[in-house]
Amino acid sequence: MKILVCVKQVPDMESKFRVNDGGKWYDEADLALRMNEYDEYAVEQAVQLKEQVGEADVTILSIGSDRVKETMKKALAMGCDRGVHVVDDTSYAKDPFEIASIIAAFAKDHSFDMIFTGMQSQDRGSAQVGVLVAEILGMSSISTIVEFTFDNGQVTARRELEGGLKAIVKAKAPALMTCQLGLNTPRYPTLPNIMKAKKKELLSVEVATLLQVDAVQETTRMYFPEKKGGGIVLEGDVGNMVNEIINILKDKTGVLT
């Protein structure tokens, strides 16, 4: 069985963000980088599937500059077998369709039985790449999965719907899953596996050899949300607070007129 996992390196969300000079993305200074949270669930599920079926080879793919190798090493330490680094110093400027096309261009000759991606990335959050890859490759996809079972080529997944609903969806491999929080608890890599990961194959591919499409989206500007007036917290006697609310509603809104 051949499994592909796509991971993205993203800034830790606690970082100090600044808009970059071009005004279209964030500045990289002072950012702590890590594996996209949802991709961790994807890696974990791929490794669990490998452990379940026994004979499987898990490829990890990541697009970006050299620094993404650090994140790939973590995936290798978690149990993936080999890595493909698509070298692209401006991956952040590419739209989800371009990214999906790059992945699909790599995947099409490798006949993967299963592909796992994160449900979305923590930085761009488009939630499109996974499903676009499946569409380009012409394979089934189930998005936002929170439960996964695999039995003899048959996938049964529970996926999240709006309003707290869940749906159980079945698909035949080959299929692509986009993974959501709650699917599993990503393992902590053991030291022997961290050591082994350093020796695993990590292939570099130039992005130009895989990118054959043009962007369909354009980022025009990136900016922080405008600061709006702060909220008011009323405290004290309930009767007084009610009067205060009525006054505010009278003064500042038209609901009581």
Partner 1 sequence: MTVMEFTREIYWNVGHGAGTLAPMYALTLVSIAVFAWGFLQRLKVYRLGKPLNRTDNRGARIVGLLKDVLLQSKVLVVRGPGIAHGLFFWGFFLLFIGTCLILLQADFTDLFFDIKFLKGTFYLYFSLILDLAGLVAVVMLAGLFVRRYLVRPEGLETKIDDAIMHGLLFAILLTGFFIEGARMAVTELGTPLASWSPVGLVFAKGMVSLGEESLKSLHVGLWWFHMVLVVGFIMLMPFTKFRHILTTSANYFFADRGPKGNLTTLDLEDEDVETFGVTQVSEMTWKDIFDTDACTQCKRCQDRCPAHTTDKPLSPMKIVNQIGEVAFNNPEDNLVETVSKDALWACTTCLACQEICPASIEHVNKIVDMRRNMVLMEGEFPGEEVMAAVEHVEVNGNPLGLGYASRGDWAEAIGVKTLADDPDVDILYFVGCYASFDKRNIKIATSFVKLCQAAGLKVGILGKEEKCCGEPVRKMGNEYLYQSLAAENIELIKGYNVKQIVTTCPHCFNTLGKDYRDLGFDLPVEHYTVFLEKLLTKGSLKLRKDSFDCTYHDSCYLGRYNDVYEQPRVLLDVAGAKVVEMDKNRSQGFCCGAGGGRILAEENLGERINNKRVAMAAETGANMLVSNCPFCLTMFEDGIKGLGMEESLAAKDVAELLVERLT
| E-strand stretches of the chain | 2-6, 9-11, 33-35, 57-64, 82-87, 114-118, 140-151, 154-160, 166-172, 175-179, 202-206
Question: Which are the contacts of 120, defined by CB distance < 8 A and separation ≥ 6?
Answer: 38, 126, 127, 178
User: Of residues 136, 194, 205, 211, which one binds partner 1 by CB under 8 A?
Assistant: 194
Q: What is the DSSP string of 236-253?
A: S-HHHHHHHHHHHHHHH-
User: Of residues 111, 185, 220, 253, which one binds partner 1 by CB under 8 A?
Assistant: 185
For partner 1, which stretch binds (CB under 8 A), given 29-37, 51-59, 94-102, 229-237?
A: 29-37
For partner 1, which stretch binds (CB under 8 A), given 43-51, 81-89, 142-150, 180-188?
A: 180-188
- CA angle, residues 37, 188, 184, in degrees to nearest 5: 55
Q: Which residue has the tokens 């996974």?
A: 130
Closest distance between partner 1 and the C-beta of residue 191, in Å?
Answer: 4
User: Of residues 52, 149, 154, 190, which one binds partner 1 by CB under 8 A?
Assistant: 190
Closest distance between partner 1 and the C-beta of residue 111, in Å?
Answer: 32
Question: Restricting to residues 9-28, which ones interact with partner 1 according to CB under 8 A?
Answer: 12, 14-16
242 binds partner 1 (CB under 8 A): no
User: Of residues 32, 93, 167, 248, which one binds partner 1 by CB under 8 A?
Assistant: 32
Alpha carbon 142 to its chain centroid, in Å, reads 14
Distance CA 144, CA 159 (A): 5
64 binds partner 1 (CB under 8 A): no
181 binds partner 1 (CB under 8 A): no
Closest distance between partner 1 and the C-beta of residue 30, in Å?
Answer: 4
What count of other Cβ atoms lies within 10 Å of the Cβ of residue 131? 19
- CA angle, residues 76, 81, 82, in degrees to nearest 5: 85
51 binds partner 1 (CB under 8 A): no
Interacting residues with partner 1 (CB under 8 A): 12, 14-16, 30-34, 185, 187-192, 194-195
